[in-house]
Amino acid sequence: MTILLPPLRRPVRPRPLALALALLLALPGVHAWAAEGPSVAIDGRLDDPAWAGAQVFDDFVVVEPWTLATPDPALKTVARVLPTPAGLAIGFDLHQPADVPLRAPQVARDEMVNADRVNVFIDFDGDGRVGYNFTVLASGSIQDSAITSEVLFNADFDPDWRHAVATTPTGWSAEILIPWTTVAMRDGDAPERTIGLHLDRVVASRTERQGWPAASFNRGRFVSDFAKVTVKQYPASLFHVWPYATVVNDRIDGGTGWKVGADLFWKPSASLQLSAALNPDFGQVEADDLVVNFEAIEVFFSDKRPFFTENQAFFDLRTPDNGQLVYTRRIGGPRDSGAGIADIDLALKANGSWGGLGYGVFAADEADDDGRAYRAGRLLWDAAPGVSVGWLGSRVDRPFLDREADVQATDLRWQPREDVLVNAQWIGSWTTQRGRERSGQGAWTRINWTASERWRHELEATHFGQGLDFNDLGFMRRGSLNELELTSEYTRPVEDERSRLASTRWYAELQARRSDRGVALPTWLVLEQGNTFRDGSVLEVGLLPRTAGYDDLVSRGNGLLRRSARAETYVGWYPTRRGTLGWDFNLYARPEGLSGALAVETDLQLYWFPSDQLNVTFEIEPMWSPDWLIWKEGRRFARHSRRLDAFNVGVNWFPAPKHELRVKAEWLAIRARDGQRYALGTDARLQAVAGPEPDFDVNTFGVQVRYRWEFAPQSDLYLVWSRGGFLREERDGESTLDLLDEAIGLRDADQLLAKVRYRF
């Protein structure tokens, strides 16, 4: 049976202000329970008397590298978990002698850096579906993310939680307080709840991770391996409003624009959470990476917009081949009419639970006559111990294209025993565009078997029909795919303490693929070997051979292209940072084009930490390719020799607490030379065509200077200057320095932005 959401009607667009006022008037009286219970001051010091009543966990083992050894007694870790009316409090007492350097750089939220830190991983419902990561660095900087599909981390999750660190006579300590209203939970009014919990501590100078219980996100399964811990639960509620104002000055045309709006979050309990965005400002103060894409598959971008990250994990349903059924970057993206970026009138979202049933609804409407309307609903039912069944449905109305798109999906999670986990999903899509209907279906199953502490195996089977299409709201790399994937991984700790090696890892993955029409796609074999040394350095090597087969995407639907057998290889070296300087290095060699000539790419990253308040990163990525094949149009192709140059520089300075200055500059240039024309024949092979193929350059540059002042909890002032440009031109003779000089002068966009957002 197919379940469809109610049809969308757009003869009259409701005014967002009226809708928001109606929503506010409809809210019942909001109150907070004054529950009695223990309390702790989150100052980083575990000296409150209430900590004496906490659950204590001190049997940590080394999980990175995966040795499961008892940690050095000089680096003893003791964690405490204490439920309080304000939230779940977690404290860490971390022994660290003076001869083990404490790395405590200040960094922006969610910035990955080699630093001493503690992690709290929580599955609030204890069912293994969604986990949440709360990280505090020794400097007090934080990271947070939602975890779906066992090991997929999404750093767009940025909730409100409290944290502090302190220095102790034996090392350092940390306190974390996670409010009961942080995410929507089932049975939020129950006196107790059983959560999944994993705690760990990273000693940066040794690249060592101590964890309890023994679990690792590097082993294919993670959230399911959390320990089950029962804690007392306290009722809680909140109602917050974030009005904002933004002023933008365009320094090219001299125009100045402004915008005001508000975000609203109402959480009457941990079991029900509602949010709305009125005239939202979804302009990014975070700069996306520069990308120049010549491939047939679009590039995936993450989403940092607050409304779309709040409690979004419930809608985060993934598919094989890096798919996603709800991809929020579609909303407020480029208009279907081509008239720039779409504004959003109003967005609403609700998450809740009733007994063993979790539910969520989501809606967003873009402005103007060409604005799209998005709807999504989600149900999740705990059918039996170890078994949960879910449903997700979405509808998108695209009036400019006269297109309506529906997607329905059901998902199953079954854990028949502790070492086996089964996930499965069915997806269907139905679209109507200008009277033409199209439909498609797909399904996949994944079985994960943790055979022992050293061995892990995975079997995955996928079928995506030719007509399956969930790209209107989701992200789908391709349809028409039948794939069988087999994976095995073996990790061996080195027990001889005299050895430089701490552990080794072998990984093998076989991907056998055919299109839904029976076209033989290349079969891939992925072979990887990793070595973790006792000083924390890591060496990785990989070989990726593939058979001959057909590429059915490169011509954008204009015919198959026969690909020869070939193999890629790579090596990565990640030495432990010494002093203020650190670096990583990667080298890739992959056959390209018709000849299979090797394209060579290097990636060198340098890190400099002159102080804990200042850090600088520099990355350079040159590439050389003698045979670069690109699609032009129809059945036309071109071959070039290619030189790619890319670098980025980042500076982060924290002059005072709650103040941050960030500078980010990126440059990417491509020089295509020695052009030759080709046409795709009916035999799936390319034939040379007479006539010159012009050389061309691609040159793009972007820079952003951003100042942020967090003047109150979840309240910020941003001052941002951004500038960038893009140029593609048929020419030859430009050198690397010429292109860099030209790039600095590119100025397609140049603007100043001021934004203030305050939480009431």
pTM of the model: 0.85
Pairing of strands 561-563, 227-232: unpaired
d(CA 63, CA 211): 6
Question: The tokens of 452 are what?
Answer: 């022992």
Which residues are within 8 A (CB) of 607 and not within 5 positions of it... i.e. 6 or more apart? 113, 114, 577, 581, 582, 583, 615, 616, 617
Query: What's residue 384's pLDDT?
Result: 87
| pLDDT over threshold 50, residue 596 | yes
Question: The tokens of 309 are what?
Answer: 């990250």
Q: Please compute, for residue 401, the number of CA atoms within 13 A of its CA located in the half-sphere on the CB side.
A: 17
Q: Assign 309 a pLDDT band (cuts: 50, 70, 90).
A: confident
d(CA 585, CA 579): 18
Q: Do 19 and 149 contact (CB within 8 A), yes or no?
A: no
Mean pLDDT along residues 512-524: 95
d(CA 413, CA 317): 12
Query: What's residue 161's pLDDT?
Result: 93
Residue located via tokens 């590439």: 623
Q: Do 151 and 236 contact (CB within 8 A), yes or no?
A: no
Query: What's residue 486's pLDDT?
Result: 97
What percent of the chain shows pLDDT beyond 90?
Answer: 71
**Could you read off the pLDDT of 112-150 as tens digits, one per residue?**
888 999 999 999 999 898 999 999 999 999 999 999 889
Region of residue 252 (phi > 0: left; psi between -120 and 50: alpha; otherwise: beta): alpha
Q: By mean pLDDT, which of 25-34, 61-70, 180-189, 287-296 is the weakest?
A: 25-34
Question: The tokens of 167 are what?
Answer: 């220095």
What does pLDDT average to over the chain? Answer: 90
Query: What's residue 277's pLDDT?
Result: 85
Query: What's residue 703's pLDDT?
Result: 94
**Could you read off the pLDDT of 478-509 as tens digits, one per residue?**
999 999 999 999 999 998 888 999 999 999 99
| pLDDT over threshold 50, residue 757 | yes
d(CA 111, CA 304): 13
**Could you read off the pLDDT of 74-83 as tens digits, one per residue?**
999 999 999 9
d(CA 203, CA 117): 7
**Nearest by Cα to 248 from 744, 720, 735, 732:** 720
Q: Considering the domain 49-232 in this protein, what is its CATH number?
A: 2.60.40.1190
Query: What's residue 572's pLDDT?
Result: 97
Query: What's residue 278's pLDDT?
Result: 82
Domain boundaries, the chain: 49-232
